[in-house]
Copies of this chain bind each other. A is one copy, B any other.
Amino acid sequence: MRPNDRAAEQVRPITITRNYTAYAEGSVLVEFGNTKVLCNATVEENVPRWLKGKGKGWVTAEYGMLPRSTHSRMRREAASGKQGGRTMEIQRLIARSLRAVVDLESMGEIMVTVDCDVIQADGGTRTAAISGASVAMADAFAHLVKKGSLKANPMKSHVAAVSVGILGENIFCDLEYVEDSAADTDMNVVMTEDGRMIEIQGTAEGEPFCHEELMALLESAKNGIAEIVTAQKAALED
């Protein structure tokens, strides 16, 4: 019933490639099926102006789509002169999700910026970005520990995310583009590795949803995220 005979609760094949580019302190290409996002974590030894002198670190994120990551070409945001509302919304979500698992106090005045650039988009780019950025950020912190700038890694947990949705009577996990476009309700869930919630964003695109549907969506998301966390851990053990 789903493309490639995928089961309703099944996450797409996940590939996490570390050290994808050469210069970033953490560089991860994350793939969820045909969705491919490059997550590059940059370490800088200065924090935003409003944080200076407080002895605290900061984590932020930016998101972009290559113009032809999609079926038809999107206008390049640099050429149109501004980032659209969807882009801003997504990069704010990624940044909040990453900060939720970092002990900013123990970082010192260091800033980590994770750039999430979509190479190919087949649904779920923001959840793939969060899941990949977590690994890239882990590598960046490991780099800082290794070179002695930090005593310990300030990450308290992995963070992973998945989208779930209602199509007709079914609850599907990890929607790809054709499913996402057809879903009545679409929900993005961000969790820690032990299954606690960092962010949930559910939207009824068609009919409003009821409590039971929400419960089923959360259950499906929890299972999907467990799989993603397993993939993150495996990637970091390589």
Contacts and interface: CB of A to CB of B under 8 A. Distances in A.
State which size class the interface on A falls in. 35 or more
A38 interface: yes
A203 B97 CA distance: 9
Identical copies in the complex: 6
Contacts of A134: none
A182 interface: no
Contacts of A214: 197, 200, 218
Interface string A73-116: 10011110111111111011000100010000000000001010
A64 B82 contact: no
A211 B117 CA distance: 32
B199 A68 contact: no
Interface of A: 21-24, 27, 34, 36, 38, 40, 42, 44, 62, 64, 66-73, 76-79, 81-89, 91-92, 96, 100, 113, 115, 117, 119-120, 191-192, 196-204, 207-211, 214, 218
